[in-house]
Amino acid sequence: MLLYNIVLIALGALFAITLSITLLALHNMPYYAEELYKLGEMLQKCTCGGIEPPEEEYARILRITKDDFVKEREKGTLLIKIGEEICAVAEGLKSPFRMIRV
- Residues 96, 89, 66, 57: what is their CA dihedral angle, to the nearest 10 degrees? -90
**Structural domain of 77:** 28-100
Answer yes or no: is 5 within a domain: no
The structural domain count of the chain equals: 1
Average pLDDT over residues 42-48: 63
- pLDDT: is 82 or 102 the higher one? 82
Answer yes or no: is 20 within a domain: no
pLDDT at 17: 93
Answer yes or no: is 57 within a domain: yes
CA atoms within 13 A on the CB side of 55: 10
Answer yes or no: is 13 within a domain: no
Answer yes or no: is 15 within a domain: no
Most confident of 8-12, 20-24, 37-41: 8-12
Phi-psi region of 53 (alpha: psi -120 to 50; beta: other; left: phi over 0): beta
